[in-house]
Amino acid sequence: MGPEIRQDSVLVGEQHILQDLPSDIRITSDFFRRDVLEVAPSLPGKLLCRRFDDGKIFKSRITEVEAYRGTDDLACHASKGRTARTEIMFGAGGSVYVYLIYGMYWMLNFVTGEQNVPQAVLIRGVESVSGPGRLAREYGINKDFYGEDIGISLRLWLEDSDEPVKVYSSPRIGINYAGEYWASRPWRYTACIDKR
DNA sequence: GTTAAGATTCCG
DNA sequence: GGAATCTTAACG
């Protein structure tokens, strides 16, 4: 059974290739070039979209994210300084930051903010998948996506959704090591997606 | 070179 | 409650 052919795909040789999506649907890099505390709360409800190598396209609405904000934030990897791992976070918003945790789970993040302002949003869940480790696994995200430009990538992108969402904020998960102050910042944003 | 710990998940 | 599993960062 071949891949589902969409209207926005085009035949190139023997393969159907997904066209770059119209700018009024796809979220552009500009969206991410703002403070992470503006970007993160506006992500729940948006569609996280993936085109796999076999041409199949998977989309699910984001339900849970967390903001990691700059060198002061002791829960943010950038607080350790500019290293090979954190380098991408020091670039302008719109690229992908992925890293391996506990030797087995990839964490999917989107860099936000202006150049030299290291921030990122961790995508912790979508409607069909709970948990950041399982999410990356379902979406086939690994180190190959480090630095991917979310504004132009043909295999990973975001789309707007008109579904109304209520967004709640609460403390971030699993970062008690950062100390009480940073662990208590309400920078986790969860969506309650209305299903009428 | 060595080591401790981690933005997690699954099993008992 | 604890293991799985390995990269990163800190230290010698």
Q: Are A167 and A40 spatial neighbours (Cβ–Cβ below 8 Å)?
A: no
Q: Which SS3 state, helix, strand or coil, does residue A126 take?
A: strand
Q: Is the pLDDT of residue A1 over 60?
A: no
Q: How is residue A181 written in tokens? A: 């102050």
Nucleic chain C contacts, protein chain A, residues 89-128, CB cut-off 7 A: 99-100, 102-104
In sequence order, the β-bridge partners of residue A16 are: A11
Question: Considering the entire predicted model, what is its pTM?
Answer: 0.90
Q: How is residue A135 written in tokens? A: 């999410």
Mean pLDDT of A71-76: 98
What is the percent of chain A where pLDDT is above 70?
86
Kindly give the pairing relationship between strand A57-69 and strand A165-170.
Answer: unpaired
Q: How far is the CA of A85 from the C1' of B1 (A)?
A: 21
Whether the beta carbon of A153 falls within 7 A of nucleic chain C: the reply is no
A129, closest nucleotide (Cα–C1'): B9
Q: What is the pLDDT of residues A145-168, one digit of tens each?
A: 999 999 999 999 999 988 889 999
Q: What is the pLDDT of residues A92-132, one digit of tens each?
A: 999 999 999 999 999 999 999 999 999 999 999 999 999 99
